[in-house]
Structure formats: structure tokens, C-alpha cells
Amino acid sequence: MNPYEAYMKEISQPMRDELTNSGFAELTTPEEVDTFISETKGTSLVVINSVCGCAAGLARPAARESLNNEKRPQHLVTVFAGQDREATARMRDYLEGYEPSSPSMALLRDGQVLHFIPREEIEDYEVEEIVENLTKAYNQYC
């Protein structure tokens, strides 16, 4: 690992922990993504994490807070854009029809996208608005 990679790994670890400590499983390789998509049944929230400010101040807090809803996804996973590039690219392959953006969130059922929240619906929104967006999807699909 070169010094830049080591630095970014150290810097991004708390950003990873924020989701994994809330029950999200990290998918760090394309193979893990493929296995998750092909074998996971039911509803899943996928968070494409990022080091940007809107991920820190909006996306991760909203994802965590949305889990307080009575209805919620059965599975929680995350990939980290810019860090686990191959895993993120593979996940984006499964999000057909949606432009790559980070952060972003997708609600899936049996690997199929039911609801997608791109960066444009995270940046410049309040945490409460993003939570409402997520919980409406949970109430409809979970």
C-alpha cells in the first residue's frame, strides 16, 4: 500500500465505522457485491458512501436515523466510492438506469432497485427530508 492509500484508509475508517456500527455490512470487493446481489432475498438498503461533506453531514446520518422506522429493510450494506472502487463499480452495474453518484442510496428487493436517492436528492436537503424520503420507501416496499 502506498502512502496515499494508507492515509486515505486511515482517514476514511471513521466514515466506514459510522455505518458498520449501525449494522451495515461492508462490501469491499466485486465478488462480495455479486454474492450479495445473487443470494440476498428480501429488501436491502445500499448506501454508496463517500468522503464528501454531504455524505458526512447528510447521507450517513439520514441512513442511520431512517432505521428507527417501524418498517425497514431486512439487509443493510455499503460500498465506499473512491476507496473500494471495484466494489462500487460493480454495485453501480446493478443499479441500471441510474447515473453513478456518491453518496447515494438504493432500496432493493431481491437485487432489483425499488427506490433510488441520488446525490442531487441528498446535497442541499435537510437530514429530516432525506429520512422522510427513505421511510416513505420503506413504508411502501418493506
pLDDT tens digits for range 70-115:
999 999 999 999 899 999 999 999 999 999 999 999 999 999 999 9
Catalytic residues: 52, 54
- Residues 103-137 have pLDDT tens digits of 999 999 999 999 999 999 999 999 999 999 999 99
pLDDT, residue 61, reads: 97
Q: Does the residue 28 lie in any domain?
A: yes
d(CA 63, CA 45): 9
> What's 42-90 look like in SS3?
CEEEEEEECCCHHHHHHHHHHHHHHCCCCCCCCEEEEEECCCCHHHHHH
Q: Higher model confidence: residue 131 or residue 52?
A: 131
Within-domain flag for 142: no
> How many independent structural domains does the chain possess?
1
33 and 101 Cβ atoms separated by less than 8 Å:
no
Classify residue 128: in a domain, yes or no.
yes
For residue 22, is pLDDT > 90? Answer: yes
Residue 140 maps to a domain: no
Q: Confirm whether 65 is domain-assigned.
A: yes
Which range marks the domain in which residue 52 is found?
3-132
- Whether the pLDDT of residue 55 is over 90: the answer is no
Q: Is 138 inside a domain boundary? A: no
- Residue 62: the pLDDT is 98
> pLDDT-derived band of residue 6, with 50, 70 and 90 as boundaries?
confident
Query: To the nearest whole percent, how much of the chain has pLDDT over 70?
Result: 100
CATH number for the domain spanning 65: value is: 3.40.30.10
